[in-house]
Chains A and B, each alone.
Chain A
Amino acid sequence: MIAELSATLSIAVVRYALVGMVVAGATFSLLGVVVVSLHLTAMRFMLMHMGLLGAAAGISLGFSPTGGALVLVLTGSLLMGPLGNRLSLSPASISGFFMTGSLAAAFLLLAATGARAMDVFGVFAGNILMLRQIDVIVVIVVGIVIVTVFVVAYREIQLVLMDRVRAEALGVPVEYITGVLYLLLGAGIAVALRLVGALLVDAVILLPGMAALRFARNLSGALLLSGLFGALACTLGFFAAVLLDLPIGASAAAASTLILAASLVLGRVCGVEG
């Protein structure tokens, strides 16, 4: 088994996949705590649908569908905060608006240009073994930025997640902080799309945060546990996939789901829920 693992890890793309998965699991998962605390689960769907529109535009108009998806995901995350504040709408309402609009625009575009819808969905399948060195560097850079923001603005983020109104009253620049968090979430989702595909982004971003919030007594504990669970899920998923010849993204998602399920059961049985 060890010989088999060594042989597999000697392949560059496999090593890139392992590093990319573990770094993403350990760092992108910090955003899961924000998603749960600020009730941004709808925003994740909205960003995926904007990515769909970007990919559809790429295929229809002849530029890179992946690039189009990434640009629109980041644009959507940038627009969320200012639009919500300007229109006095919650992130969920704004997400609903963009989600439906993006989907409609994507299908209208495909119909108008005669492009195949399945080609668009192919962009969202994700393939960890297609990662290049530059992709791994992007994952590491985004991960470092995420961790740095949480370290530098830890108290400020804590205040915004705890009580937005009181944070404003204390003078915290709430709009800027939520804007930065939305942007990080957009960047995380955009990169994770390439790693594990649209359907499994939650495995890297959302589920570890949900599991961590079951146990943690403070934000730093939640962030640490989230990073730990994310890294664990990705590592377990990776090695299970290599040893059992399974798809890596799906294995990581299964490991992440199992960790969340275990946290739900343990939290209930041991009475240690946060």
Chain B
Amino acid sequence: MDRKCPGSSSRAGSDSGSERGRSVAVESEDDRNVERQETVDRGIGRHYPGEPVVEFLDVRCGYAAREVISSVSFRIRAGELVTLLGPNGAGKSTILKTILGLLKPWGGTVRMFGRAIASTRDFAACRLHMAYLPQIQTPPAVPVTVFDAVLLGRWGKHFAWVRRPHRADRAQVYELLEMVGMADLAERDLRRLSGGQRQRAALAQALAREPSLLLLDEPTTYLDSEAKQDLLERITELHRAFGLTTVMVTHEQLPGRAFDRFLRVEAGQVHDLSHSGGTG
């Protein structure tokens, strides 16, 4: 597997036509561990370890007339593996959907990749650098092979509409399937897989986007303990190998201490447990 696949955008130059030519001003001279000449022409999604990737400042959001998160502020830095921990209905998925731009903030400021997000177009630009693994991997109603499902993860960034997938896209998909241990199931119908296998395919699909930010919504729900352990190990391995900024939502305390930070979400508020020394 080419090490630039997931999280490739943490240092290298732009790989997207729409990103070329974007200049980001150098904000300060302080603790950036980078070379000055590399700090120009990075574009959205380009960041260095430690730089803020997601920033919420007094953000409010919800569904219809129901406010789910109120005055939430937190910051997630590049390369971190952060867990959003909290009971069902606390607002964890709402935070993820707000990051993704699927929900429009009612108030406050959302900054993504160092830029204030003001419009749907801003979210759309950021979305090219994010991958999302939804909460429940129910079998799809339509037949789709594992290979196709993973390939579709590259939609919008690597191909779309009349721009069809290239040989390189297909090669990348095979590499990802190898990485998650599903190469031999590439031509299998997704509907015929176990929950754990579908979840691994979904992880490969998310990585196929070559994201800078990986958002996982309850990825271990409904998995047995073995599949759960296997998936968590793969997520932490991927994070270690590629330094991919990862945000994982969960309602249960997960085994292992590989996570950099725990943010506890409760009644629409976020508390950073790393500062209080606990994990909830």
Contact = CB atoms under 8 A, between A and B. Distances in A.
A pairs with B: yes
Interface of A: 33, 36-39, 88, 152-153, 155-156, 158-159, 161-163, 165-166, 168-172, 213, 216-219, 221-222, 274
A217 B143 CA distance: 5
A159 B152 contact: yes
Contact of A218 (B143, B159, B161): B143
Interface in B121-166: 124, 127-128, 130, 132, 134, 140-145, 148-149, 152-153, 155-156, 159-162, 164-165
B102 A155 contact: no
B203 to A, nearest CB: 12
A230 B189 CA distance: 24
B161 A159 contact: no
Given A153-B161, A158-B148, A166-B134, A217 B189 contact: yes
B140 A171 contact: no
B234 interface: no
B187 interface: yes
B132 A213 contact: no
A155 B155 contact: yes
Nearest to B215: A169
A171 B153 contact: no
B102 A159 contact: no
Contacts of A152: 161-162
A162 B148 CA distance: 11
Contact of A161 (B140, B162, B165): B140
Given A217-B189, A218-B148, A170 B153 contact: yes
27 contacts: A33-B142, A37-B140, A39-B141, A88-B64, A152-B161, A153-B161, A155-B152, A155-B155, A155-B160, A159-B155, A161-B142, A162-B140, A162-B152, A166-B134, A170-B152, A170-B153, A170-B209, A171-B124, A171-B128, A172-B156, A213-B142, A213-B143, A217-B143, A217-B189, A218-B145, A219-B148, A221-B143
Contacts, number: 86
Nearest to B156: A171
Contacts of B187: 217
Nearest to B165: A155
B11 interface: no
Given A152-B162, A156-B161, A219 B102 contact: no
A112 to B, nearest CB: 38
Contacts of B209: 170
B152 A217 contact: no
A169 B127 contact: yes
A229 B171 CA distance: 34
B191 interface: yes
B132 A158 contact: no
B142 A37 contact: yes
B244 to A, nearest CB: 17
Contacts of A158: 142, 144, 148, 152
Contact of A171 (B127, B142, B165, B205): B127
Contact of B127 (A170, A213, A218): A170
Contacts of A155: 152, 155, 159-161, 164-165
Contacts of B148: 158, 218-219
A228 B161 CA distance: 25
B100 interface: yes
A158 B149 CA distance: 9
B156 to A, nearest CB: 4
Contacts of A172: 155-156
A153 B159 CA distance: 12
B132 A169 contact: yes
A219 B100 contact: no
Interface string B42-60: 0000000000000000000
A37 B152 contact: no
Nearest to B127: A171
A155 B64 CA distance: 31
Given A155-B165, A158-B142, A169-B134, 11 more contacts: A37-B141, A155-B160, A156-B160, A156-B161, A158-B152, A161-B140, A163-B134, A171-B155, A218-B144, A219-B142, A274-B191
